[in-house]
Amino acid sequence: MHLSLLKKLIAPALGKLLFFFLSLLVTACAGSRAGLVRESDPDIFSARPKYIFLCIGDGMGPAQVKLADAVLDPGRTLVMNTFPVTGIATTHAEDRYITDSAAAGTALATGEKTSIGTISMRSNHRDTLRTIAEMARKRNMRVGVVSSVGIDNATPACFYAHNAGRGNYYDIAVQMATSGFDYFGGGYAEGDFAQNRQKDGVSRKDIPSLMRNAGYRVVSGLAALHAVQPGTRCWAYTRYDGKAAMSYQIDRQAEEIQLREFTLEGIRLLDNPNGFFMMVEGGKIDWACHANDAAAAAYDVRAFDEAVAEAVAFYRRHPRETLIVVTADHECGGLSLGNTARGYETRLSLLRRQKVSLQRFAEKVGAWKKNRRVSFPMVLDSVRAYYGLGDAFSDSLLAISREDRSALAAAYAFRPAGTAKTSARYSGAEAFASAVTRMLNSRAGTGWTSNAHTAVPVQVFALGAGAGAFAGCYDNTGIAEKLIRLARLGGQ
């Protein structure tokens, strides 16, 4: 048969076959909450986990996971990457294709979609949605909520609070005291800041006092946290920034409690014969990605993974009763591993040369401009110390060209805003720090498309009793639905 005739006969059939397989994939990922594993299979939901960990890497898309894996020391891999079951989840909100953490957190906490900015309520802002943590508490399981950002920030709030607006920090924070949950750990409460306690000219009662009155121990150091006895309700926090969040892992000081330690102490306090539910959030991953700070993001993914490792250590002691699910609420920044400047070449290991976060470097730059005693050559010395840029002797990719130097000089020529007495923040400091960070990111081979969230589907990793239910493609609401069904928490 002539070749051209054969092509005419075969091509339509191949096209139909390809369309058929693509249709199956789209249907599986976009139209089915059950995923590739059918929920009608009798064995999938036969397990009944008593100890449940839901670990959420805020802003952690597939590229962020791979980036952190690449930045780790050779021969090591992230613990979550060793989990035997993986899935993919879509993340859209009810009213917007690209979600925020409130709508996504609500989906993960309740199995229901809601509108942007809403904390575990329907989009009508009248009806509350029951969270898996509240269901667990009603079943006499102990409950813990851990986060590296403020404990009243959107994602952790979605598990214990109900509010029409994620920015109502005080109204959200006070719900910790009435939740009946056993353990809160990580960041402080932004709702306790003076500007949030004020309402109609009246200062409302501080959050620590409300927590103590509700029977909680409030502690702020690791030694004090160690001293809390199991069965005692506790709110533990460490040093926090102007938004009540923990430090970036790359900036963490030795005396600051790590996310891993908050998780380990939470396990100690929550462990009991009735089981527990613990949500652990790596919230600063998202903040680093908003800033397009690849190194800070990588180290916070790593810190989050170390918290996951503590859950895995517990699983090894109770393998038939423990379920660990690791996922993200959304991707942030549109991170790519590869960029136009480097083409097919990457040197992600160069990110190890960065010693501080973009945020911390910007604070230093602002201080330098404030005292007016730091010359531009001195600034370049600091750029080399904190980012490695300019150290061409150790790596030619770190060389600063004449064009780079001119661009940095122009960025450093900004004028401080305000005076030393009225402002500690300077316009232009962030721009200079961003310019330096972009230079290192570019040389390493990373790229960013946004300073905001994206609709990129996120990974789901599962280990333990019932883990098979999390294979395949489904919406993020399916994660909570599966957890509720596995733990027999519905129908209350």
Position 74 scores a pLDDT of 74
Res. 28: pLDDT tops 70: no
- In a shared domain, residues 64 and 151: yes
Q: Which residues contact 76 (CB under 8 A, 6 or more apart)?
A: none
User: Over the Cα atoms of the chain, what is R_g?
Assistant: 24
- pLDDT tens for 365-385 read 999 988 888 899 999 999 999
Res. 304: pLDDT tops 70: yes
What's the pTM? 0.90
How would residue 426 be classed by pLDDT, with cut points 50, 70 and 90?
A: low
> What is the full DSSP assignment across 184-232?
EEES--GGGSHHHHEETTEEPPPHHHHHHHTT-EEE-SHHHHHHSPTTS
Position 422 scores a pLDDT of 35
User: What stretch of H or E contains 87?
Assistant: strand 85-90
- In a shared domain, residues 473 and 435: no
Q: Which has the minimum average pLDDT: 42-46, 250-254, 346-350, 367-371? A: 42-46
Smallest CA-to-CA distance from 358 within 443, 435, 414, 413 is with 435
Q: Which pairing describes strands 446-447 and 336-337: parallel, antiparallel, or unpaired?
A: antiparallel
- List the CATH number of the domain containing 185: 3.40.720.10
Order of all β-strands in the sheet with 51-57: 217-219, 234-237, 183-186, 142-147, 276-282, 51-57, 322-327, 458-464, 85-90, 472-475
Position 43 scores a pLDDT of 72
Q: How far apart are CA 356 and CA 362, in angstroms?
A: 10
Residue 69 lies in domain: 51-335+451-486
- pLDDT tens for 460-487 read 999 999 999 999 999 999 999 999 999 9
Residue 219 located in a structural domain: yes
How would residue 153 be classed by pLDDT, with cut points 50, 70 and 90?
A: very high
Position 490 scores a pLDDT of 81
Q: Is 146 helix (H, G, I), strand (E, B) or coil?
A: strand
Using CA of residue 312, residue 49, residue 45, residue 25, what is the dihedral sign? negative
Residue 190 located in a structural domain: yes
- In a shared domain, residues 163 and 110: yes
- pLDDT tens for 228-285 read 999 999 999 999 999 999 999 999 999 999 999 999 999 999 999 999 999 999 999 9
- In a shared domain, residues 231 and 298: yes
User: What stretch of H or E contains 339?
Assistant: none
Res. 155: pLDDT tops 60: yes
Mean pLDDT score of the chain: 90
Counting the structural domains of the chain, the total is: 2
Using a 10 angstrom Cβ sphere, with 0-12 exposed, 13-18 middle and 19 or more buried, the burial of residue 26 is exposed
Using a 10 angstrom Cβ sphere, with 0-12 exposed, 13-18 middle and 19 or more buried, the burial of residue 358 is buried
Taking a C-beta distance cutoff of 8 angstroms, is the pair 105, 329 a contact? yes
- In a shared domain, residues 472 and 432: no
Position 23 scores a pLDDT of 38
Res. 34: pLDDT tops 80: no
Residue 38 located in a structural domain: no
Position 73 scores a pLDDT of 75
β-bridge partners, 89: 458, 474
- pLDDT tens for 90-104 read 999 999 999 999 999
Residue 27 located in a structural domain: no
Average pLDDT over residues 382-405: 95
- pLDDT tens for 78-90 read 999 999 999 999 9
Residues counted in the chain = 492
User: What stretch of H or E contains 295?
Assistant: helix 294-317
Token duo for residue 156 = 């952790």
Q: Which pairing describes strands 458-464 and 322-327: parallel, antiparallel, or unpaired?
A: antiparallel
- In a shared domain, residues 318 and 416: no
Position 5 scores a pLDDT of 40
Res. 36: pLDDT tops 70: no
The fraction of the chain above a pLDDT of 70, given in percent, is 89
- In a shared domain, residues 319 and 352: no
Q: How far apart are CA 275 and CA 18, in angstroms?
A: 48
- pLDDT tens for 435-468 read 999 999 999 999 999 999 999 999 999 999 999 9
Res. 2: pLDDT tops 90: no
Average pLDDT over residues 155-183: 98
Token duo for residue 459 = 């990974």
Res. 206: pLDDT tops 60: yes
Position 194 scores a pLDDT of 94
Taking a C-beta distance cutoff of 8 angstroms, is the pair 61, 456 a contact? yes
Res. 140: pLDDT tops 80: yes
Average pLDDT over residues 347-373: 93
How would residue 427 be classed by pLDDT, with cut points 50, 70 and 90?
A: low
Residue 9 located in a structural domain: no
Token duo for residue 210 = 């409300």
- In a shared domain, residues 478 and 366: no
Residue 13 located in a structural domain: no
Q: How far apart are CA 101 and CA 119, in angstroms?
A: 9
Residue 45 located in a structural domain: no
Position 210 scores a pLDDT of 98
